Amino acid sequence: MHDGHCRHLVREGHNENGKLVLVSSCGFWEMDNFDPLIVHMKAACKNMSREFAGALLRPQGGAIQVLLEMGVSLDDVFGAARESGRQLVQDGKMSADTLDTVSRELMPLDAYMQGANQRFQDELDKAEKS
């Protein structure tokens, strides 16, 4: 029992001050699609006596490959992802500005939806021909 609740014990030989970071991408456009996953991670951290050190989140994941193939630079996004890791190791936390850059908007919602719908329709058409 820990604070009146069943929890996992920290195993011998493991750091009692451990941290966990959520790294996740999502095919949907909006950031709130990560909310259930973040709630789950925070609960898991509590059960494992670990600090939830934050979340590196990338919505609109389906657009990344397409944009790269079109020659759009996403160097700021990838650079911020690397920087967040450096910050976590060096400072023990990731800055909000760096995390915001990782999850920044890649394209307007209407353009994203149009492209995603077209890709799904192409796949459905391809499956129908098979």
Tell me the pLDDT band of 85, cut-offs 50, 70 and 90.
Answer: very high
pLDDT digits (tens, 9 = 90+) for 7-61: 677 666 666 678 899 999 999 999 999 999 999 999 999 888 889 999 999 999 9
Taking the chain, what is the end-to-end CA distance rounded to the nearest angstrom?
A: 57
* Res 130: pLDDT: 84
Give CA–CA dist 106/108, Å, rounded. Answer: 7
Q: What is the pTM of this model?
A: 0.83
What is the dihedral angle through the alpha carbons of 53, 56, 57, 58, rounded to the nearest 10 degrees? 180
